[in-house]
Amino acid sequence: KSHVICHLDDGADLFMELTVNTGKGYVSADKNKMEDAPIGLIPIDAIYSPIKKVSYDVQPTREGQVLDYDKLTLKVETDGSLTPDDAVAYAARIMQDQLS
């Protein structure tokens, strides 16, 4: 996505230093503050999840003559660093570990 950082008039200059980190899950700006940070550093929230959007649909289905089954359809959109299939497989492993 594109985000507007600022608007500059003709002839204006902008100097910025950015820090980029890797992580897991969501990290608030408060936790992104560094104790020895220089004056003027603006920490921001960080979202490290590769998952952009998930939706699901449950429909009745049949298996042979048996009509009381449900079909679950998942739609998973990622940022490209992980395939949707790998994301679902990883989530299933986590859920299996939690339930065992």
Chain segment 36-84, per-residue pLDDT in tens:
888 888 899 998 889 999 999 999 998 888 888 999 999 999 999 899 9
Average pLDDT on 13-20 reads 87
- Reading the block at residue 69, the tokens are 């089954």
The answer to whether 48 touches 23, Cβ cutoff 8 Å, is yes
Q: What is the C-alpha to C-alpha distance for residues 77 and 83, in angstroms, rounded to an integer?
A: 8
Neighbour-count burial for 46-70, b at 16+ CB within 10 Å, e otherwise: beeebeeeeeeeeeeeeeeeeeeee
